[in-house]
Structure 1
Amino acid sequence: MTEALADALLAARLLAADRKLGGLVLRGGGPARDLVLQALRGLLPADTPFRRLPGHIDEDRLTGGTDIAASLANGTLVRQRGLLAEVAGGVLVVPMAERLRSDTAGRIAQALDNGPGFLLILLDDGEGPDERPPLALMERVAFDLSLQDVRPADLHCEMPEPGALGAAPSLDSEALSALAATATALGIASIRPLLQAAAVARAHAVLGGRDTVHRADLEAATRLVLAPRATKLPPEPEAPAPPEPEHEPEEAERPDNDEDDDDSAPDIPEDLLIEAARAMIPPDVLELIASGRAQRDARGGGAGRRTGSALRGKPLGARPGMPGGGVRMALVDTMRAAIPWQPLRRRDPAPEGAGPIRFRRDDLRVRRFEERATTVTIFAVDASGSAALARLSEAKGAVELILAQAYVKRAEVALVAFRGTDADLLLPPTRSLTRAKRALAELPGGGGTPLARGIALARQLADAVMCRGRTPFLVFLTDGSANVAADGTSGRAQANADALTAARGIAGAGLDAVVIDISPRPRPEAARIAEAMRARYLPLPFADAKALKAAVTLAAEPQKKRA
């Protein structure tokens, strides 16, 4: 049995011992994940309700509301129980939690905070670190475990037995300080993981039959709760100071060591716990820390800004409003709003032509939808003589690699090239890989660097993209060395001044951009252009096409998060 599976089964035992831990996130695993759920079911009482959250559950089925059919049949208000009420005291399993809608996640989080309580199991099938369950739910569960590396041969193991439950021991100030110092060293800002780690340490001591919290309990809490949430590596331990000259204390000054000789006192050295936490950080979290993307709540790649729509897109909850002008009435929600008022309204004389249900203007509800705008990545490639020989082939390869993702994501690619004395739009926004390859193959190199015109043309294209309701993202691949001014004349001083002016226009328009320095060595000119744009600057002197593509994807993540 692998360590990952052993930790998941231990987490199941801890959840059965203390339901206040909230639940756990299980990333990947397939059969291993089913094994953990089976183990948790066996550890809980037989009558514990187990429910799975349907993928397209509506608010009334989730939280409860008016049963329209029964209300119409009986002529009185009949309410129905919601799924969150049915699962009280049990376990709610959320498949594909990385795709859970934010409003549904908010309702579940509210039920966890205010309701009778239940265990929440989030099954995470996201492909990358940016496709994770909602942060509001991940903060309310104690464990975030990965089963992606568990093999089928590791599944043949004994199921855990319920431990002898007893009163959880208290956590003294020394142990709590050690956990707090470890959380601080790992860059964990929220107080929730610290409280969860303290609860796990107490529950782990109960499972071990101990009436006090020992170092092993704190290390288990650090491994299961704190390490997966790390956003930075703990600092390196300082070199020990040279020893001071030893001297024998006087008899009167000799400290009383009777308490130190007590074997029952827990040994909880803070530095050793922090050092152990360094070794406990999972490899995938180390990769996130190295790339600066730990604990992001970005959801999905390649998606543009969310925009409201009255006709198409992902359905949202109905809202009060008047139908018309393309806005459609939500009949069921309108009836649900009117039915509770019928006993009061029937006291008044019925108006002529009134039906069995009396509606008011305030009862009307209209449909709402949410659309994601298409993301358009606009490449502005420096094809001048100073850059073409060095990096033009890598730039072409990066464009092709990013465009290859457009078939599975709502994304398009456009290509602007500047060389000689002018800039040209070689490829309008498209998802066609054939068109892109043809345009890239025909892209020549050499000549001057009209950087100002390239920036201006990229901005014009971005404005046109925004007018069509899409989300532009600008990628400039250049060495920043301009020698052709905006009016087409030669001269480095005027050319650089015009380029900075055009770059400030990008910042003024609020466009998201990144400047990739493709010179053999990083140049201050490209950094100044990025600063004027308020864009991210990425010097990549030795990167190939794959590295350029990865850099563009990483640079686009903050823009997706804001969207």
Structure 2
Amino acid sequence: MPEHRSGAEARVNAAPSPWTDARSAARLLAADPHGLRGAVVRAAPGPVRERWLDDLRGALQPGTPWRRLPPAIGDDGLLGGLDLAATLAAGRPVARAGLLAQADGGIVVVPMAERLPAGTASRLAAALDTGTVADRPARFGLILLDEGEADETVAEALADRLAFRIDLSGVGSDAGTDAGSDAGSDVGSGDPEAEPSAAGADTTAAEPDPVGSLCALAEAFGVASLRAPILAARVVRALAADGPVGRDHVTVAARLVLAPRATRLPPREPDSPEAAAPPREDPPADPPPEADVADPAIPDAPDDVVLEAVRAAIPPNLLDQLLSGQQRLAAARAGRVGQAAAARTGRPVGSRRGDPRRERLDLLATLRAAAPWQAVRRAGQTTRPIVVRRDDLRIRILRQRTETTTVFCVDASGSAALERLAEAKGAVELLLAEAYVRRDRVALVAFRGGGAELVLPPTRSLTRAKRGLSGLPGGGGTPLASGIDAAVAVAIGVRRSGSRPAIVLLTDGRANVARSGEGGRARAGAEALQAARAVRAAGLPALVVDTGSRGEEARAVADAMGARYLKLPRAEAGQLSAAVRAAL
């Protein structure tokens, strides 16, 4: 390894604090809001988050627009268009600019971004991509304030467009009060002498191909999105300030942009046995021909110093997930878009004041609200038969019962398999007999031997269920983790379609077959608990029905799953179906 890396390697373990990186991101974003698009800031309301927002606002040029998105803003307020009240008053079309156009060149802050409606999120994404709204310029940076729990995150399609993902949940309220907090205050200032303290790498090392290095780092950490290395390259350009690009610039950009997006950890290179062996007396071998020497300007693997710096910058909660091998469930959370879209339909049960551009106009209720005021409003007017104002507008209140899909996950292993299967089959048939009225569906996953099988895809057809459940085999080992994994996959697909999934697990919890199909209670039990925690992380409602006699193993699975626990060692089909209806 070249000598200039030794100092950088010594500083990798002393990576800047999350607060320092957060302030660095704020200064970079203030310099180019639209180019870097914005940041997702995960933090509860409090002094730490407000201090970061103050830092960002203070770093902006004087007079830069700063807008906060109201929670129930309509399309006309967001995008602009026809001012309905002014148009009705003037008798001619009156247009006005929306919030995004008003924020041109500045910042838009979105509180509670994890609850942002899917339609609003898609409009924000389109405005970020095009830089225009309703033929008006709208080039802004977006700050998504994520205040949700572990299973609540902002829409991935929107977060992917923003350069930074900042987690302040572990930062104390005294952040920024000590001298060390300003270590990264000069990042992005354009002063090459001020950047090494924030970069944690040696500025003397030039980077021959920064884009190639960023792409190699993205691939090493499992970052599939092409936007991530593009945004990181823009950060490098901002750090270099039109000067030569060094390895420290790439390190900072990769730490700030790529590390929070990591989905895997690159394998560490094993120590070379030749490096530990004593030096040999043999003369060195002839160097290879010049044609066989790789071109150093073409990086075929990320630099090991930069790689370790990025690894050290991965947020602790994300690092725990990567080390445990737990799958990231962003796709499962994205399924809530289908639920939100489905909620716009249903049976009208009344009306209320609202924006007819977002919801259905209730014309009769609007006319009833405007009728008592017509004598006053038409005074001195003869051309308008009826005068309707904004306060008169009424929209329909729609009520819809969300369809529920119950995913039965049945332990078909061991000597009691036939009894458990009979209970599950009977419960499925009883629930399906009522499904036509409630518009619900049922699915069945069975696990035994070396894996799990989707016996019955989600359906409300009783005939199809009886045909699919007939002749289901039982016996063998207990691959509990594989069964839970299969049930989660079905439930996530159900949620994407707009339905509400619920998992019912029938087992004694005594896993003895791992995901690989190999036996061993210790490994199989650990994998079962890991799979159960994935159910909790995905926010899936669940019920564990303990069919065993002891209860310790099944209760531990229920606790890890965050599920309701029900002990029914000798349940009949009627008892089981009633318990499912009561619990879910």
Partner of 2:42: 27
Distance 2:449 2:436 in 1: 27
Partner of 1:468: 438
SS in 2 for 1:148: coil
Deviation at 1:520, TM superposition (A): 3.5
Structure-2-length-normalised TM-score: 0.59
1:125 to 147, 164, 167: 147
Partner of 1:456: 425
Deviation at 1:211, TM superposition (A): 1.9
Deviation at 1:458, TM superposition (A): 2.9
1:292 to 314, 317, 326: 326
Does the alignment pair 1:498 with 2:535?
Answer: no
Consecutive unaligned residues of structure 1, counting only runs of 5 or more, are 261-265, 334-352, 359-363, 388-447, 481-495, 528-537, 554-563
> Kindly tell me: are residues 178 and 145 of structure 1, through their superposed partners in 2, closer, same or farther at Cα, counting changes over 3 Å?
same
> Kindly tell me: are residues 381 and 356 of structure 1, through their superposed partners in 2, closer, same or farther at Cα, counting changes over 3 Å?
closer
1:137 to 149, 155, 158: 158
Asked if 2 retains the 8 angstrom alpha-carbon contact of 1:313 and 1:371, the reply is: no
Amino acid at match of 2:438: R
Distance 1:199 1:100 in 2: 27
SS in 2 for 1:36: helix
> Kindly tell me: are residues 328 and 49 of structure 1, through their superposed partners in 2, closer, same or farther at Cα, counting changes over 3 Å?
same
Asked if 1 retains the 8 angstrom alpha-carbon contact of 2:509 and 2:554, the reply is: no
Q: Deviations over 1:158-216 (max 9, x none)?
A: 77479645999xx966222221111111111110011111111222333xxx8222222
1:373 to 384, 402, 409: 402
Asked if 1 retains the 8 angstrom alpha-carbon contact of 2:108 and 2:141, the reply is: yes
Amino acid at match of 1:125: E
Distance 2:75 2:262 in 1: 34
SS in 1 for 2:472: helix
Deviation at 1:157, TM superposition (A): 4.6
Partner of 2:135: none
Partner of 2:314: 281
Partner of 1:522: 512
Percent of aligned positions with the same letter in both sequences?
A: 36
Amino acid at match of 1:21: L
> Kindly tell me: are residues 303 and 78 of structure 1, through their superposed partners in 2, closer, same or farther at Cα, counting changes over 3 Å?
closer
Deviation at 1:122, TM superposition (A): 0.6
Amino acid at match of 1:217: H
Distance 2:490 2:555 in 1: 31
Distance 2:512 2:267 in 1: 30
Deviation at 1:64, TM superposition (A): 0.8
Q: Deviations over 1:211-256 (max 9, x none)?
A: 2222222221122111111111112325537489753769x9899x
Distance 1:191 1:101 in 2: 25
1:204 to 211, 228, 239: 239
Q: Deviations over 1:42-77 (max 9, x none)?
A: 111121111111111111111112112211222211
Partner of 1:149: 170
Asked if 1 retains the 8 angstrom alpha-carbon contact of 2:109 and 2:144, the reply is: yes
SS in 2 for 1:499: coil
Q: Deviations over 1:409-463 (max 9, x none)?
A: xxxxxxxxxxxxxxxxxxxxxxxxxxxxxxxxxxxxxxx9423322212322442
Deviation at 1:357, TM superposition (A): 8.7
> Kindly tell me: are residues 119 and 457 of structure 1, through their superposed partners in 2, closer, same or farther at Cα, counting changes over 3 Å?
same
Partner of 1:228: 260
Partner of 2:108: 92
Asked if 2 retains the 8 angstrom alpha-carbon contact of 1:479 and 1:518, the reply is: no
Partner of 1:15: 29
Does the alignment pair 1:195 with 2:217?
Answer: no
Deviation at 1:4, TM superposition (A): 1.4
Distance 2:423 2:160 in 1: 45
Asked if 1 retains the 8 angstrom alpha-carbon contact of 2:112 and 2:146, the reply is: yes
Distance 2:178 2:490 in 1: 61
Distance 1:27 1:452 in 2: 45
Q: Deviations over 1:115-172 (max 9, x none)?
A: 23111111001111x311111220111111111111123342577479645999xx96
Asked if 2 retains the 8 angstrom alpha-carbon contact of 1:230 and 1:294, the reply is: no
Distance 1:475 1:550 in 2: 20
Amino acid at match of 1:9: R
Distance 1:55 1:234 in 2: 40
Distance 1:227 1:451 in 2: 46
Which has the larger displacement, 211-220 or 366-375? 366-375
Does the alignment pair 1:215 with 2:258?
Answer: no
Equivalence map 1:4-403=2 (5 Å): 4-19=18-33, 20-29=35-44, 30-115=46-131, 116-128=138-150, 130-157=151-178, 160=185, 164-165=189-190, 174-206=209-241, 211-240=243-272, 242=274, 247=284, 270-289=303-322, 290=324, 292-294=326-328, 296-299=330-333, 305=339, 306-307=342-343, 308-311=345-348, 328-329=362-363, 355=385, 367=396, 369=398, 371=400, 373=402, 375=404
Asked if 2 retains the 8 angstrom alpha-carbon contact of 1:95 and 1:123, the reply is: yes
Deviation at 1:310, TM superposition (A): 3.9
Q: Deviations over 1:63-92 (max 9, x none)?
A: 112112211222211012111111111110
Distance 2:156 2:123 in 1: 13
> Kindly tell me: are residues 195 and 330 of structure 1, through their superposed partners in 2, closer, same or farther at Cα, counting changes over 3 Å?
farther
> Kindly tell me: are residues 64 and 546 of structure 1, through their superposed partners in 2, closer, same or farther at Cα, counting changes over 3 Å?
farther
Partner of 1:545: 555
Distance 1:471 1:546 in 2: 28
Asked if 1 retains the 8 angstrom alpha-carbon contact of 2:28 and 2:187, the reply is: no
Partner of 2:464: none
Which has the larger displacement, 281-290 or 29-38? 281-290
Distance 2:158 2:336 in 1: 23
Structure-1-length-normalised TM-score: 0.61
Asked if 2 retains the 8 angstrom alpha-carbon contact of 1:144 and 1:225, the reply is: yes
Asked if 1 retains the 8 angstrom alpha-carbon contact of 2:410 and 2:507, the reply is: no
Which has the larger displacement, 303-312 or 35-44? 303-312
> Kindly tell me: are residues 285 and 163 of structure 1, through their superposed partners in 2, closer, same or farther at Cα, counting changes over 3 Å?
closer
Distance 1:298 1:42 in 2: 38
Deviation at 1:288, TM superposition (A): 3.3
SS in 2 for 1:311: strand
Distance 2:356 2:141 in 1: 29
Distance 1:62 1:368 in 2: 22
Q: Deviations over 1:274-324 (max 9, x none)?
A: 333333221211233335332604449999954521426999986899x9x
Which has the larger displacement, 543-552 or 191-200? 543-552
Amino acid at match of 2:148: G
Amino acid at match of 1:273: V
SS in 1 for 2:143: strand
Asked if 2 retains the 8 angstrom alpha-carbon contact of 1:185 and 1:233, the reply is: yes
Q: Deviations over 1:99-124 (max 9, x none)?
A: 00010011111111112311111100
> Kindly tell me: are residues 249 and 522 of structure 1, through their superposed partners in 2, closer, same or farther at Cα, counting changes over 3 Å?
closer
Distance 1:92 1:314 in 2: 32
